[in-house]
């Protein structure tokens, strides 16, 4: 099944896929395309990541192009073949593949798994839960650090797990959404600046930056708009002029060209300070701070970050849907 950009039929399929994700998430008993992508990357990396730095860079480019192209072609081919057997099989396949590219329920549940023990004063379980979603050391985190790690993860993954897949899905259906997930998975597996991946993962990291450039900035904008609507019921911690100017100032401080946008907006909406000192395997990493703390980080900020996450993707979808409808009426 092929689609023109922002096709109205595709928009309906995306809406159904969102409903599927919200209702069932990623059932463990069903195979998940991203798991398969990860296994493919691991297999190819073992054979390709060898040689001199220049050779590793070229091989890393080969890995990136191969995995993204294979993901797109396999998903497109599966949908086309099933659609030829019966049109509804193609529709079902596309909806299911689209739902696997989204992580709305998964991100919400992961954040709630941290906030529940944290609000009960159970730091041990809260640290264990946050260790499942961040790569930093968590064994000696206090409530504020557990909260900060979770809020930062919710903000960043609003792009990686929700709005960016939606952006690419609405441009090219499930094949393009899964191609994006392949890019994202490549970056998470080989896009590190460690000695092993500095050269080999260069292409993957740069492609991920490119794929997220527009969605990250749109997400910050939509999160801010969603926060403005929410402020009619729950006032935001910062004034609106301060929130926008603060986000524009703080976002570029982040080492990632994209992650800083949703994180900075989240910080200003919550009235907290994100960034600071993180520890990875005992090594200290100092990040620039974003936002100004109106008070200490508390577990309740995680619940608020989940609300802003939902507001961001809902507004994002409304904006994209408006473009689709305008195109359909043109």
Query: ∠ CA(49), CA(54), CA(58), 5° rounding?
Result: 60
Cα separation, 276 vs 166, in Å, equals 31
277 part of a folded domain: yes
20 part of a folded domain: yes
**Helix runs in 3-52, H state only:** 8-24, 33-48
230 part of a folded domain: yes
2 part of a folded domain: no
pLDDT digits (tens, 9 = 90+) for 171-208: 999 999 999 999 999 999 998 878 889 999 999 999 99
Top pLDDT among 120 and 287 is at 120
Q: Which domain holds residue 118?
A: 8-329
Alpha-carbon Rg of the chain, whole angstroms? 20
Over residues 254-265, the mean pLDDT reads 95
Number of domains the chain is built from: 1
1 part of a folded domain: no
Q: Which of 272-276, 284-288, 303-307 is the least confident region?
A: 284-288
Q: How confident is the model at residue 330 (pLDDT cuts 50, 70, 90)?
A: very low
**Measured in whole angstroms, how far is the alpha carbon of residue 163 from the centre of its chain?**
7
118 part of a folded domain: yes
130 part of a folded domain: yes
Return phi, psi of residue 151, to 5°.
Answer: -65, -40
322 part of a folded domain: yes
């Amino acid at each position: 099944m092929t689609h023109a950009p922002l096709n109205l039929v595709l928009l309906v399929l995306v809406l159904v896929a969102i409903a599927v994700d919200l209702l069932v998430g990623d059932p463990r008993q069903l195979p998940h395309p991203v798991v398969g992508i990860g296994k493919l990357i691991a297999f190819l990396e073992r054979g390709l990541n060898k040689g001199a730095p220049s050779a590793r860079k070229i091989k890393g480019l080969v890995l990136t192009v191969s995995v993204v192209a294979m993901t797109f072609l396999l998903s497109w081919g599966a949908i086309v073949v099933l659609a030829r057997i019966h049109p509804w099989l193609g529709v079902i396949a596309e909806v299911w593949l689209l739902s696997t590219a989204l992580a709305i329920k998964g991100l919400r549940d992961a954040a709630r798994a941290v906030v529940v023990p944290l609000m009960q004063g159970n730091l041990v379980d809260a640290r264990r839960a946050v260790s499942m979603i961040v790569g930093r050391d968590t064994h000696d985190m206090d409530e504020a650090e557990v909260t900060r790690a979770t809020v930062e993860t919710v903000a960043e993954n609003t792009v990686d797990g929700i709005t960016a897949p939606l952006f690419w899905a609405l441009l090219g259906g499930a094949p393009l959404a899964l191609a994006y997930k392949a890019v994202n998975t490549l970056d998470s597996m080989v896009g590190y600046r460690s000695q092993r991946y500095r050269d080999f993962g260069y292409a993957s990291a740069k492609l991920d930056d490119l794929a997220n450039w527009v969605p990250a900035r749109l997400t910050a904008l939509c999160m801010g708009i969603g926060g403005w609507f929410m402020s009619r019921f729950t006032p935001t911690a910062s004034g609106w002029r301060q929130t926008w100017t603060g986000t524009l100032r703080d976002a570029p401080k982040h080492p990632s060209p994209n992650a800083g946008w949703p994180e900075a907006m989240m910080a200003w909406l919550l009235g907290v300070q994100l960034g600071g000192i993180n520890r990875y395997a005992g090594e200290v990493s100092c990040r620039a701070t974003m936002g100004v703390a109106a008070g200490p980080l508390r577990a309740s900020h995680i619940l608020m970050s989940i609300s802003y996450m939902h507001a961001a993707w809902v507004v994002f979808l409304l904006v994209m849907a408006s473009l689709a409808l305008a195109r359909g009426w043109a």
